[in-house]
Structure 1
Amino acid sequence: MNSLLSPDKFKNPHITAKGENRAQVHFKQLSTVWFNTGSQCNIECVNCYIKSSPTADHFVYLTPKDMAPYLQEVAALCPAPIEIGFTGGEPFLNPHIIRLMEMALEDGHQLLILTNAMKPMMRPRVKAGLLDLLERFPQHITLRISLDHFTAKEHDTERGAGSFNKAIEGMNWLSEQGFSLHIAGRSMFSENEANARQGYKALIEHYNWPIDSDNPAHLLLFPEMDETIDVPEITEACWQILDVSPNAMMCAESRMIVRRKGEDRPAVLACTLLWDDMQFETGKTLKDSLGPVALNHPHCAKFCVLGGASCSA
């Protein structure tokens, strides 16, 4: 692996700065399809990887009409239901969100929703829609709450004063109603993973949330995605050196649907993280998007290959 900072890193999709063959991930199977419901969010986080905010409109709200063809493709490509994920922005700002959820659930899929569990989710109309879907599709809905730290001080440093308490209120409501909950934390803070999990475990036990803090799928601690920090380029040889399989990468099994502002139809991206790098826009249909993905970005190295992280459940 290359590890020295170079202005030539991550330039050529086929060759690294040292002239070695860049690693690629070949499509294996479609396990998760993500739908970015829109880039608008009710808050503006300091380190938001997708640059969401109350005014962000680089991704417009997806509509049922946008989503329907992709669900039809999933049915044609996959022999059984898969995981459908909703991300944003804040998904519960999308005025169609309950119907979008319903469409995925009607097709038998497991639904994973990434949310900050704040005011957009707690509006009476949205709460009523969630409860209706929970009653009709029990055991099919999981909400992953963005809780950057287990203390209000550190969480609010990222998301703004009062954000922690509002998220706790939303999580308490979801827990009381019987929803399946996960937590997404961040590793920007100084404690090691064991200490972080212990801190979250104490918080989870305090509120009696149905979350297994020892299960990495229930409590995800994501590495930071700072493109100014040097990371090695991943070569073909790295798979064996690191004892990591390319089949374990997100882009071997998932794609994300977005609709960019000004575009007349959605597009398919190879990765949920690399939304603003056009080399990772892989087509307009799922079928056309299933080619190999060159790991030509720092996030490929730090988040996925070296960090071992995945957005899917």
Structure 2
Amino acid sequence: MAESAQRPLASEKFRNPLVTAKGEARATVALAALRTLWVNTGTLCNITCRHCYIESSPRNDALAYLSAAELDPFLEEIAREALPVTEIGFTGGEPFLNRELPAMLAAVLGRGFRALVLTNAMKPMRNHAAALLALRAAHGEHLTLRVSLDHYDPAIHDAERQEGSFVQALEGLAWLAARGFRVHVAGRAGFGGEGEAAMRAGFARLFARHGIPIDAEDPVALMLFPEMDAAVDVPEITTACWGILKKSPDSLMCASARMVVKRRGAARPAVLACTLLPYDPQFELGATLAEAARPVPLNHPHCAKFCVLGGAACSR
């Protein structure tokens, strides 16, 4: 992170996992304890957003649908090794496009884990209404659905996603809330050019108007994520940054989480360092949770801007 009069070009940064462009020791993050396991259900989505970090769309199947049978060995490994995992998160793409999502949720919840699903709450989710209601009845608040609403203003949300998507997402969120599901919302901090306080106030008005029981001041119930753009010039994170920033590496996602994916054409799933870097091969850590327990060099702009400097985390 330290800068000097001879500042490196952005193109020279994030090349070497061990040292920065200035020759300083790059920061790494050790896995302190695996507490959250993320599952990417596949990159296919029912809509195409303008700035999707994972490039999900109705045509992108770079990450194939993961099956319940493929998830099971990881759940078995957690049990066998007594790993301290408490939560399994499901992301995509749109997870509800994967027809095996209800079976995966049943397996996870049946083993006593909390489950978190990231969804746009549109038609694919409503297609699983009966299965969702059954899971809600059986497992109560162990199941949380986090609905993506980029902004409380429909026009700003729709400009990112597609016309009419705000109304559909809000209807899905209200449907969940009315039926007693535990719901959270994910917004985008940079949208609308407002500060965080104004964003939270706008969402509070929206939730109150529609009877949605979410505390907009709660940073977990309403997560406002910083924008991610790998082309933006950001400082590299050195070992000295922890002291300069007064930040612990244990606070980063990769200190407590990993993600399972199934690449298109691959014989078996792989385990990645985090949810944000699904395509960069240097963040593919192995085929088992044990293999993926090694330290992660912060060798990507997202590591710096989103996690260290932005302070974001995808779980609770």
TM category, shorter: over 0.9
Tell whether 2:110 aligns with 1:106.
Answer: yes
Tell whether 2:187 aligns with 1:171.
Answer: no
55, 58, 63: which one pairs with 2:62? Answer: 58
Q: Secondary structure in 2 aligned to 1:46?
A: coil
Deviation at 1:197, TM superposition (A): 0.8
Q: Is the 8 A contact 1:81 1:107 kept in 2?
A: no
Q: Is the 8 A contact 2:89 2:115 kept in 1?
A: yes
Instruction: Identify the residue that residue 302 of structure 1 maps to in structure 2.
Output: 305
Deviation at 1:77, TM superposition (A): 3.4
107, 130, 137: which one pairs with 2:139? Answer: 137
Instruction: Identify the residue that residue 41 of structure 1 maps to in structure 2.
Output: 45
Q: Deviations over 1:81-136 (max 9, x none)?
A: 5100000000000011110100000100000000000000112xx10000000001
Structure-1-length-normalised TM-score: 0.97
Q: Secondary structure in 1 aligned to 2:187?
A: strand
Unaligned runs of 5+ residues in structure 2 are: none
Instruction: Identify the residue that residue 13 of structure 2 maps to in structure 1.
Output: 9
Q: Secondary structure in 2 aligned to 1:143?
A: strand
Distance 1:259 1:164 in 2: 30
Q: Secondary structure in 1 aligned to 2:141?
A: coil
Aligned partner of 1:308: which letter?
G
Distance 1:91 1:216 in 2: 23
How much is the aligned-residue C-alpha RMSD, in angstroms? Answer: 1.0
Q: Is the 8 A contact 2:145 2:181 kept in 1?
A: yes
Q: Secondary structure in 2 aligned to 1:66?
A: helix
Distance 1:52 1:210 in 2: 29
Identity %: 53
Q: Is the 8 A contact 1:41 1:93 kept in 2?
A: yes
109, 119, 125: which one pairs with 2:123? Answer: 119
Aligned partner of 1:119: which letter?
K
Tell whether 2:227 aligns with 1:224.
Answer: yes
Q: Runs of 4 or more off by more than 2 Å in structure 1?
A: 2-5, 76-81
Unaligned runs of 5+ residues in structure 1 are: none
Alignment of 1:234-245 (within 5 A): 234-245=237-248
Instruction: Identify the residue that residue 200 of structure 1 maps to in structure 2.
Output: 203
Aligned partner of 1:227: which letter?
A
Q: Is the 8 A contact 1:42 1:90 kept in 2?
A: yes
Q: Deviations over 1:4-55 (max 9, x none)?
A: 4512100000000111000000110011000000110000000001010011
Count of residues in Structure 1 that have an aligned counterpart in Structure 2 = 311
Q: Is the 8 A contact 1:255 1:269 kept in 2?
A: yes
Instruction: Identify the residue that residue 21 of structure 1 maps to in structure 2.
Output: 25
Deviation at 1:79, TM superposition (A): 5.4
Distance 1:18 1:269 in 2: 27
Instruction: Identify the residue that residue 150 of structure 2 maps to in structure 1.
Output: 148
